[in-house]
Chains A and B, each alone.
Chain A
Amino acid sequence: MSVVADGPQAQAPVTVPPAISVHGLTKRYGDLVAVDGIDFSVAQGEIFAFLGPNGAGKSTTIKMLCTLAHPTMGQAMVAGMDVATMAKSVRRHIGLVFQEQTLDDQLTAEENLRFHAVLYGVPHRLVEPRIARVLALVALSDRRKDLVSTYSGGMARRLEIARGMLHTPKVLFLDEPTVGLDPQTRALIWEDIQRLRSEEGVTIFLTTHYMDEAEFAERIAIIDHGTIIALDSPDLLKASVGRDTVSIETTDDEAALASLQAAGYTVERSGTGLTAFVPDEEAAVGPIVAAAGVPVRTVRAHRPTLDDVFLHFTGREIREQHGETVPMMARVRGARRS
């Protein structure tokens, strides 16, 4: 099986040094092991996602990679520098978007960005062009002079992403960038992320507990209880837990079974009909209906999802843990507005 924790080496290009490489990284808080000896590496220019339920250790990992928390054990290199010994240089070369909002909402978007430019030592002559550039990247140019307190949650998030890119970091860390946002806004943020990568060439490390959106990443590490339990591209992860299937019900299942087997399909009887195992469910629907040889009453195509992957490796559904995140964000937002 390709899904092993030391898989990344297979994919990361060997010639360019990785943007992030982590060995045996561990963080303990007293007796609690928040991150338990993880290993992975992220290639330059890659979009890499940490997927796991609340409390899995995602934010703690980000904090260590960003030098905000000291690793209890292990080593982490970011942009070629050791986070333990070169903290200040690491900070200069990374962009960070925290799980909690960190804008000053009594300042305008532009003022927030200027403040950031000074904190990160962006040379004076580059401040103006960079502000214009990053605001354009997240389509907020026309809201530049508005107070952040007038922004919607999604706009504030995108402004934070723009701010994270202002000083041209080598790696951009996004901790749950889409949490608590509506589906359209989440889609916009994903477009932003893809655009940043293609236009600025930045490496992106993000965390999420939304299964569906982890698919947008090039590689995913599934993390649970502080350990990486699977790491690969979304397609290979899904392939590892089962194959695509097309299930049909026909007027005469016996005849259909014979015809499909004759046509070379692997077919099994399932509850109410037949299930064929195929490499690509979408492409197989038409040919299977045609090859059945008898009238087909229902067709259902299925490809394993990341939910299936998580279930396969942990025996649990990630959805169980969703509950508390959204109300918590709502509380914080409500309080800020008052």
Chain B
Amino acid sequence: MTTRSHTAPANPTTSGGTVAPASGPGTLVSDEVRVVGMVWERELIRYVRTRTRIVSGLIQPVLFLFVLGYGMNGLVGTTGGFNFRQFVYPGVVAMSVVMTAMFSALSIVWYREFGFLREMLVAPVSRVSLVLGKTAGGATVAAVQGTIMLVLAPLVGIRLTPLLVVQMIGLELLMAVAMTTFGVFVASRIQKMESFQVVMQMLLLPMLFLSGALFPLNGLPGWLAVITRVNPLTYAVAPFRQVIFAAQHMSPAARSRFPTNVTLFGYALPIGAELTIVIVFALVFFVLAFRGLSRTE
């Protein structure tokens, strides 16, 4: 226990300062911006403080990249100097972004269980600011995690160019925003910590496996092809592969062996269409996340 002092606070000149209630019922825009910044900052502080999370967030993709990469290599073989590890690398970067963003968003369930969510929800601020801050925070953290993955590129024979790095960070941010809003929405519907595991296993893993991150989506049986095409992650993963492959020196044989575009009704989607789908997805789930957190008893 601390010792108690009944003396006046250290700085009597400022201690009497009472807080003038800021401007009545309508809150200032600058106040809301401050809130977004604070929620974002808190997310970063927590990320930096939980090293285990950073490390475990790296181990899983690394396992996929090297273990699965070498394991499948014998089966897939090398075409025109291009192998399965190079194929799977963009998918693994996408996976690490998805996992980090979802984890950050789903921590809301944890706050709900342990109360901290209340501290945010009763505050006289707009829920939009809270969701924005949370999304920005989760997205930043996920993009950082995805960018750390870039150091693995040379190890699997992926050539990085300055343009590619910029493109990757942009894609990571977009994907992270989409996944964080999606995660916040899911979290707003989950009341119990136990459901968290269920969501991770029943929703997130299937979404990842059926997104083209780990295997090409062409030549799948019809029903599986349909599932992969309604999976929004598919449209977030494909652009990674497109920009990365565009920066590689690949033979035409390798390009046809490892295709990058998502085909819809036999028509290959351009990257712009894929990104539009991801943006619409993010907006829809932003609204749903906001509504999910706005319910009062």
Contacts and interface: CB of A to CB of B under 8 A. Distances in A.
A271 interface: no
B194 interface: no
A272 interface: no
B50 A119 contact: no
Contacts of A66: 122
A139 B25 contact: no
A89 B124 contact: yes
Contacts of A332: 114
A326 interface: no
Contact of A126 (B19, B38, B115): B19
B122 A141 contact: no
Nearest to B125: A119
A116 B124 CA distance: 11
Contacts of B34: 118, 121
A149 B3 CA distance: 19
Task: Describe B's contact surface by its main secondary structure.
Answer: loop
Given A91-B123, A132-B14, A143 B118 contact: no
Nearest to A125: B17
B115 A102 contact: yes
A155 B4 CA distance: 12
Contacts of B11: 129, 132
B256 interface: no
- Most chain B beta carbons < 10 A, residue from A70, A128, A129, A152: A129
Given A129-B14, A129-B17, A133-B15, A91 B119 contact: no
Contacts of B17: 126, 129-130, 133
A137 to B, nearest CB: 7
A207 interface: no
Contacts of B31: 121
Given A129-B15, A132-B10, A133-B15, A89 B38 contact: no
Interface residues of A, number: 57
Interface string B115-151: 1101110111100000000000000000000000000
A271 B35 CA distance: 68
Contact of B15 (A102, A121, A132, A191): A132
Interface string B213-255: 0000000000000000000000000000000000000000000
Contacts of B35: 118-119
Interface in B273-297: 296-297
Given A101-B114, A139-B3, A106 B49 contact: yes
A142 B25 contact: no
- Most chain B beta carbons < 10 A, residue from A86, A121, A142, A143: A121
A68 B18 contact: no
A92 B1 contact: no
Contact of A98 (B18, B22, B115): B115
Interface stretch (A107-115, A217-225, A291-299): A107-115
Nearest to B22: A121
Contacts of A89: 24-25, 124
Contact of A123 (B3, B22, B37, B119): B22
B27 interface: yes
A36 B84 CA distance: 68
Contacts of A114: 38
Contacts of B124: 88-89, 91-92, 119-121
A140 interface: yes
Contacts of B1: 152, 154-155, 184-185
Contacts of A141: 9-10
A104 interface: yes
Given A129-B11, A154-B1, A115 B42 contact: yes
Given A104-B116, A132-B15, A96 B42 contact: no
B292 to A, nearest CB: 16
A130 B19 CA distance: 8
Given A91-B124, A92-B124, A121 B296 contact: no
A141 B15 CA distance: 13
A142 B2 CA distance: 8
B118 to A, nearest CB: 5
Contacts of B27: 88, 121
- Most chain B beta carbons < 10 A, residue from A136, A152, A332: A136
21 contacts: A67-B296, A86-B25, A89-B25, A91-B124, A98-B115, A100-B115, A101-B114, A104-B116, A107-B42, A119-B120, A119-B124, A123-B19, A123-B20, A123-B22, A132-B11, A133-B9, A139-B2, A139-B5, A140-B2, A188-B4, A336-B114
Which are the 7 A-B pairs with shortest beta-carbon distances? Answer: A129-B14, A136-B9, A119-B123, A102-B115, A121-B22, A69-B297, A118-B38
Given A102-B116, A118-B34, A122-B19, 15 more contacts: A63-B297, A67-B122, A88-B25, A91-B123, A93-B21, A103-B115, A106-B49, A116-B119, A120-B124, A132-B11, A136-B9, A136-B10, A139-B4, A152-B1, A168-B18
